[in-house]
Structures are given as C-alpha cells and as structure tokens.
C-alpha cells in the first residue's frame, strides 16, 4: 500500500541529482540529455524533495515560459473548445439523444490514447542525447519531481497539436458531425485526466472518495513502487485489458 510513510521511505532511498553531476541552478534538459546511457538510471533513482518543486527546464526564459502549464489552463483553454465541438456536432446531423454514446466513445478513445502514451512513449528506454532530451521533457522530469505544480498538465501548445492530430485521423474515417461528437468526449476525457492528475499529486480531498481514492493510490504506486505497472491515470480499464495492472496497491503488499 502506498501511504505517506512508504513515500518518505522511497524518497530517502533515492539518489541526489548531484550524484550525476547535475546542477539544479541551471536548465536541466540539456544536462540530463548528456547523461547518455546513465539517463534512465537517473530517472529511476532520483527524487527531488518537496521543497524543490519548481526547477528550470531551460536557461532561456522564452523557452521556459512555454514549458509550463498551470492546471487552470486546462479548463480555460478546453471548455470553449468542448462547447465548439458540441455545437458543431449538433449542427451537423448528430441528434442530442445520441450524444451520450459518442461522448462515451470519445472518452474511451482518450483513455486508450492516454494509456498507450504513458506506457510506450513516456516510459520508453532511451540512451542517446536526442531521445533523452525528448523523453525528459515529456515525462522524465515528472518522475524525479512529481510535485511540480507547473508541469503536471500538458502545456496548451503540445496539447492542441495532439488534438489536431486526432482530428486529422478521425476525419479520414468519419463525417464532420461524427468527428465533432467523438472529439467532445475525447476533450472531456482529457480534461478529467489532466485535472485529475494534478489533484492526485496535490490534494488530500481524494482520500474521501472511494473510486478517486483508489485511482490516487493506483497512480502513486506507479511512482513509488513499480514504474512498469499502473499506467492509467483516469481509469484502470486498460491496465486490466493489457495486463499491466499491479494489484499490490489494493492488497497492501509492497514490492521490494
């Protein structure tokens, strides 16, 4: 079971960035990318204490600005997009009574995309400068500094780029109205994922709700006990489907 005591134990057992020659006063991405084959060892064995929750990706202030995404950017950016998708779906042949079906399809689509990204992209093994650079920005930083409030959600620019890619793929198969209806559910799923991820790391409120409490423990187990399991953030569904569901977090067993 992942609790405060086991998290503190995991933190104490981790190495310091200075063990790898990393200077926390400078931009991290370039330094970490130069670790080459030591990169993944750095990601797996380093944890930054809560007092150091916001560190620099880049020495350039311009690049640094676009690398951050406060949680409230998610509803500010995506609620208008969601309204736009819903309006266009209903204006292009989709009946209101059938919208819940498309929304469920869109949410399931997001859960699958979220799972695949987390498992196969965010946890890919890298050992070269270029791929270390990419991986650290995508997800490596989150595993050494999971409490950074400015990098727990996707910044708007990469999120919008991903949405455009999904739109392009769906448009090759479905009509415009159907695409808008499915994307309505996809955006809902994405907002639940990103805001939920922030809350999992920064709110004790989830401890009072059964399903959300389980999802929080499911995710923290991934961080502090077994990084090769429990890849779902908003749902455990695809961890069960693809056999990456570690039930130890439910039974109270701890991996050594």
Percent over 70 (pLDDT), the chain? 85
Higher pLDDT, 11 or 177: 177
Q: Is residue 95 part of a domain?
A: yes
In a domain, 256, yes or no: no
Q: Please tell me the distance from the alpha carbon of residue 143 to that of residue 45, in angstroms, as a whole number.
A: 9
Task: Give residue 143's domain range.
Answer: 4-251
Task: Answer yes or no: are the C-beta atoms of 165 and 184 closer than 8 Å.
Answer: no
230 — alpha (psi -120 to 50), left (phi > 0) or beta? left
Q: Does 23 reside within a domain?
A: yes
The predicted model gives 83-97 an average pLDDT of 95
Confidence band, pLDDT 50/70/90 cuts, at residue 213: confident
pLDDT tens string 105-137:
999 999 999 999 999 999 998 889 999 999 998
151-170 pLDDT, tens digit per residue, is: 888 877 778 888 888 899 99
Q: What is the pLDDT of residue 255?
A: 41
Rounded to whole angstroms, how far apart are CA atoms 6 and 219?
14
Residue 51 has pLDDT above 70, yes or no: no
Q: What is the pTM of this model?
A: 0.84
Quick check: is 11 in a domain?
yes
What total of structural domains would you count in the chain?
Answer: 1
Cα–Cα distance, 160 to 158 (Å, whole number): 5
Query: pLDDT tens, 64-86?
Result: 888 888 889 999 999 999 999 99
């Amino acid at each position: 079971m992942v609790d405060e005591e086991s998290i503190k134990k995991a933190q104490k057992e981790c190495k310091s960035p200075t063990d790898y020659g990393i200077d926390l006063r400078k931009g991290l991405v370039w330094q970490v990318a130069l670790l080459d084959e030591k990169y993944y060892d750095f990601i797996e064995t380093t944890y930054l204490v809560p007092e150091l929750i916001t560190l620099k990706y880049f020495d350039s202030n311009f690049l640094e600005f676009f690398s951050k995404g406060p949680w409230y950017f998610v509803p500010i950016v995506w609620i208008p997009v969601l309204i736009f998708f819903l309006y266009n779906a209903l204006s292009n042949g989709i009946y209101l009574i059938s919208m819940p079906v498309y929304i469920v399809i869109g949410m399931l689509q997001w859960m699958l995309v979220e799972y695949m990204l987390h498992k196969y992209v965010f946890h890919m093994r890298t050992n070269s400068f270029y791929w270390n650079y990419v991986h650290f920005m995508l997800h490596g930083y989150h595993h050494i500094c999971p409490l950074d409030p400015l990098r727990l959600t996707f910044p708007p620019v990469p999120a919008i780029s991903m949405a455009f890619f999904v739109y392009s793929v769906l448009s090759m198969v479905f009509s415009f109205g159907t695409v808008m209806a499915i994307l309505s559910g996809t955006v809902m799923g994405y907002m639940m994922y990103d805001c939920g991820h922030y809350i999992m790391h920064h709110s004790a409120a989830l401890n009072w709700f059964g399903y959300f409490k389980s999802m929080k423990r499911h995710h923290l187990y991934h961080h502090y006990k077994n990084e090769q399991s429990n890849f779902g953030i908003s749902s455990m569904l695809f961890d069960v489907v693809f056999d990456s569901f570690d039930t130890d977090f439910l039974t109270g067993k701890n991996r050594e």
